[in-house]
Chains A and B, each alone.
Chain A
Amino acid sequence: MSAKTIVTTEALMKVGDLPLGLTVQPGSTVDFKTGDWRSALPVLDREKCSYCGFCYVYCPDGVYQDMGPEKYYKPDLDYCKGCGVCAHECPKKCIQMVIQEV
């Protein structure tokens, strides 16, 4: 192409590199980082957190990890889609959804 304006692309893979029939290898979903779908980020106030585990239980994507001796739950931001269920369900209201600028 000789046009001056460069077309940017968000393509993951070249046409010729796609597997036949778009098959996907087992266990590869972990590489599919869905966190960039998110527009709001859960921010935890650890002062108010009672380590009840509601966020861990209610998260529809299971992104919260038990931090054990540190006594809180931490979202894996590679997969958190920012739905806000954790903030809504938190009995201590210690999770705030903060809008992320793109």
Chain B
Amino acid sequence: MSAPKGKSDSARAIGLEVSLAIAEAVKLAEAEVVAAYPITPQTHIVEHLSELVANGELTAEYVPVESEQSAMSACIGAAAAGARTFTSTSSQGLLLMAEMLYIASILRLPIVMAMVNRAISGPINIWNDHSDAMSVRDCGWIQVFAETGQEAVDLTIMSFRIAEDPGVLLPLIVNLDGFTLSHFIEPVILPEAAEVRRFLPPYETAHKLDIQNPLSLGALGGPEIYTEARRALDLALTGAKPRIQRVFDDFAKVFGRQYKLVETYRTEGAETILVTMGSISETAMTAVDEMREAGQKVGLVRLRLWRPFPVEEFRAAVAGAKNLAVIDRAMILGFPEGPVATEIRALLYHEKNRPHMTNFILGLGGRDVPRSHFKHIVERVRELGASGRQGRYELVGVLE
């Protein structure tokens, strides 16, 4: 497991579908507005939220909109009115919502969204990969990836606190893998409501529409201001990084589960380091254990924070490795490497002691990622060696 548990916590773990657990976390966070449109595999989250609202368990405005574009528009309106706001989507729904994502970030509205990662069509596909997340990489939102059900719950609660931090005020996406995480029943500890309320007080802000103090949101920004506006957003996003870690640390003090922006697993003395994001990291850890037992010097680095990219933390995590095997769950069509690998290669370009780096793309459109994939990858890295093929992805398990 990625995070240690508090002493009394194990007794409180219950078996819960991760989607429902996320909805329960949104309830614990006392979200005031939920505007969403159902789409597989995100549906169970908003379905359960609508039940919680209908049953009076959550006092919130649930807006059953007619599309994802409307969902995000309603969320923007609600957040602009100062409400704690939540939505969720996947894949095609995300694409329909996409234009509004960029508005939410430039307006600095702290909306929280669970993105249940699903492949982008076509061919039409409802299963998991990261092509949806990568399609909105540059939308200016904070973006994190959850590995487990517990982490999805904890990140959801922390996300409101991060997004609403007056020094951050940015929307935030919690990515979690469709089906392989969202639909699994896992042991999950739901924090006590009173403790969550202490950790996450009601959202109070001066940055909102107020009839006593009128202002306009969403004004035109022509050539004389657009450059400065984009720079300001980039500074806000990159500047959020230490505050995100601070919220992780505060969470650990209250709930006993410590998270980091970048997690390492058995990287001490590792010659080859695998780099992953999301739920396949759990499988990768098991594979690393087995390879370590067989005497191979293999470790794992998992990116929890994707935007802003944890540049320094990542560099420190992979320092000393001879080989990096960066794993992508999406392709960049027309480019020799996937999105995560492309960024990591760019980051390492200026390093004096660069590791050899290879990009492996796997698990597209729901294709299974067993432990053997990671073992194959480590063998391939060794085979390629120092003179190995670099700068071109390998598509694991492709039949061609």
Contact = CB atoms under 8 A, between A and B. Distances in A.
A23 B217 CA distance: 5
Interface residues of A, number: 15
Given A10-B223, A15-B235, A26-B216, A20 B228 contact: no
B302 interface: no
What's the dominant secondary structure at chain A's contact region? loop
B185 interface: no
A13 B228 CA distance: 8
10 contacts: A11-B224, A11-B228, A12-B224, A13-B225, A15-B228, A22-B106, A22-B218, A24-B215, A24-B217, A26-B214
A25 interface: yes
B60 interface: no
A21 interface: yes
Interface of B: 106-109, 169, 207, 214-219, 221, 223-225, 227-229, 231-232, 235
Given A15-B231, A15-B235, A21 B169 contact: yes
Given A18-B228, A21-B217, A22-B229, 14 more contacts: A11-B228, A12-B224, A12-B228, A13-B228, A20-B207, A21-B107, A21-B169, A21-B207, A22-B218, A24-B217, A25-B215, A25-B216, A26-B214, A26-B215
Contacts, number: 52
A36 to B, nearest CB: 10
A21 B106 CA distance: 6
Interface string A1-33: 000000000111111101011111110000000
B377 to A, nearest CB: 43
Contact of A23 (B215, B223, B225, B235): B215
B232 A23 contact: no
A36 B376 CA distance: 64
Contacts of B224: 10-12
